Amino acid sequence: MPFPFVLPTTSSISYTHFFSSSTHPSLPNCATTARNVLRDVLKRHKRIPPSSQASNLSTVLSALNDYIPYLFALDAGLSGSNCAGEEIDLVLIKELEVEWRSTLSASIPGREPTRTKLKSLESELCFTLTTLAYVYNLQARAQLHILYNATLPSPEQRATAIGAAMKHFLEANSVHTYLVNRAGQWNAQPTAVDISVSVMGALAELTIAEATLITVLKDDPYPTIVIEDRNKSNVDWMFRSVEIPKVRAHLFARLCLASSEHAAKAQAMLGRSSKINDDLHKYVDDMRRAAKGKACRFLACDAESSGKTGEGIAWLRGARKELGFIAVGAEEEKKSSGFSKLKKEWQEKREDRKIEKGEGWGADAGKFEEGRVVDMLLKKWEKMNDTVGVQLIPPSEPLLASMPSGREYHSPKMFIVPALDEDSLVRMRAPPDPSEAFQGEEDDSGAEDERNAPVGAFPGTKSDYAANTTYY
């Protein structure tokens, strides 16, 4: 369940005020047109209801793919490198100034973050590519939502959705990894937290963790069984045990552990910075817990299939501890009933309602869904162990300490820098035509800041309520 990223919006600029080219005079004008189209698309996407935004992602992706080649052409002109075999002579008139709205920074509840003023083309390129990675994540999120709908997909539809989501995750990872490698050449950190080295590195680790975790989703039957059990129209009340081959269960556990390790790295990179919103901090921690708990569950299946039901129950109790639901031990098991159990059930029902609405779901990284699977197996195996074959249940701590190492599944995908085609470069050798410039149809983002003035403020006095004034 990918993180529900919010796509940023940006201010309106004209590259003709900052760059000029003797070899390709129309390049700044064409780049401005492509950027204004993207700016309008992002602002319209922001006004769409969250439950309907998934269908508009293809439009945003198309606008990004149209604009990014121009951005790299400007970058090639400034750095003196070739673009599609041609040398672009680009002169910097004055330093580029642009504003992007940060969507990962901490803000006052109920109010969106303010716009961040950025300088240099490098910041513009990083924010644009980060937005591209967000779109890939949201596309993967839309694919995975198919698996949790009330109408269960067929095995073919399930495999197609998981394959498409995995592809989007790897594409997002390639973008973040490219930006991290590019940031190694920076002399100073940018002012926006969204494009800081630590955040981009954390997002790179997070996307590869998610891509690794869903590799086991296609062959994992237990989440589907739990969803069917919650389906009110399901008349198949009898539970048939599902067998997982011993080798694959152990393999799945190692893949989940690798995913947990990547999430732990992302958590370490984010640290406890107060500049990042709490939702992302919590999601990364839930992602680490969900992957670790899933690994414990697969190791439990491996033990139970070998006839070690007692050890399997111990693994499941360890999974509940890793998920953060209860502590391990018979004494703590009794204490977990009551209010904590009621709270967990309420959180699960709230997540179900979010999935039905298609809005705000998955913020727990699948932790509660995995908890349901663990509870289902634990209830079944404890009943079997109490009635059929009584085995001693060992403590979970030694088992958790002896977990195997993680196993990587994916090889990082390299991001291919998009370049303008030769025909576009040839056309930009002609002088710019002002009539062809697209200035955009949406109001500037500054108008939004004025509309979002503090409640009760007199019109035109929003600046008096800034953080550095006597009002705060």
9-236+252-422 has CATH 1.25.40.280 classification: yes
pLDDT exceeds 50 at position 407: yes
The residue to which tokens 């924010």 are assigned: 127
The string of DSSP letters for 93-139 reads SS--EEEEE-SSB---TTSPPPEEEEESHHHHHHHHHHHHHHHHHHH
Distance separating alpha carbons of residues 95 and 30, to the nearest angstrom: 19
HSE of 261, CA atoms in CB hemisphere, 13 A: 13
More confident residue, 112 or 74: 74
Amino acid at 288: R
3-class SS of residue 87: strand
44-60 confidence digits (pLDDT tens): 999 998 878 889 999 99
For residue 243, the SS3 value is coil
Q: How many CB atoms lie within 10 A of CB 446?
A: 12
The residue-averaged pLDDT of 185-214 equals: 88
Domain ranges of the chain: 9-236+252-422
> Which of the residue ranges 44-48, 217-221, 240-244 has the most confident prediction, judged by mean pLDDT?
44-48
Q: How confident is the model at residue 434 (pLDDT cuts 50, 70, 90)?
A: low
> pTM for the complete prediction?
0.86
C-alpha angle 61-62-68 in degrees, rounded to nearest 5: 85
Give the chain's mean pLDDT.
82
Per-residue confidence at 285, pLDDT binned at 50, 70, 90? Answer: very high
Contacts of 130 (CB under 8 A, 6+ apart): 175, 176, 179, 194, 195, 200
What lies within 8 Å, CB to CB, of 218 at 6+ separation is: 158, 159, 162
Give the model's pLDDT for residue 385: 87
Q: What is the pLDDT of residue 326?
A: 66
pLDDT higher than 70, residue 236: no
Per the document, the length of the chain is 472
54: which 2 tokens? 């998934």
Residue 398 CA to residue 178 CA, distance in Å, equals 40
Alpha-carbon separation of residue 172 from 140, 180, 219, 382 (angstroms): 10, 13, 24, 42
pLDDT computed for residue 332 by the predictor: 45
pLDDT at 229 (0 to 100): 64
How sure is the predictor about 305, in pLDDT bands with cuts at 50, 70 and 90?
A: confident
**pLDDT score, position 455:** 53
pLDDT of residue 364: 82
CA separation for the pair 374, 223 (Å, rounded): 10
Residue 279 burial (C-beta neighbours within 10 Å; 0-12, 13-18, 19+): middle
Which stretch of 107-121, 284-298, 394-408, 429-443 has the lowest confidence by average pLDDT? 429-443
Residues 6+ apart with CB under 8 A from 436: 29, 33
* pLDDT of amino acid 344: 65
Gap between the terminal Cα atoms of the chain? 38
What CA–CA distances, in Å, run from 345 to 224, 286, 337, 339?
19, 17, 11, 10
Find the mean pLDDT for residues 213-221: 85
Q: Which amino acid is residue 27, in one-letter code?
A: L
> Would the pLDDT of 142 be above 60?
yes
pLDDT level of residue 89 (50, 70, 90 thresholds): confident
**By the 8 A CB rule, do 101 and 8 touch?**
yes
**Judging by beta carbons within 10 Å of its beta carbon (0-12, 13-18, 19+), is residue 337 exposed, middle or buried?**
exposed
pLDDT, tens digit (0-9, with 9 covering 90-100), for 408-424: 888 888 899 998 888 88
**Sequence-separated (6 or more) residues with CB below 8 Å from residue 304:** 311, 312, 381
DSSP secondary-structure letter at 83? E
* 146-153: average pLDDT: 72
CB of 255 within 8 A of CB of 212?
yes
pLDDT score, position 311: 93
What is the average per-residue pLDDT within 22-46? Answer: 92
Q: Where residue 235 falls among pLDDT bands split at 50, 70, 90?
A: very low
pLDDT (0 to 100) of residue 112: 73
Torsion of CA 21, 23, 29, 35, to 10 degrees: -90
Mean pLDDT of 141-159: 80
Most confident of 169-173, 400-404, 435-439: 169-173
Residue-wise pLDDT tens digits, 339-387 = 666 766 676 677 667 766 666 677 788 888 888 889 889 988 898 888 8
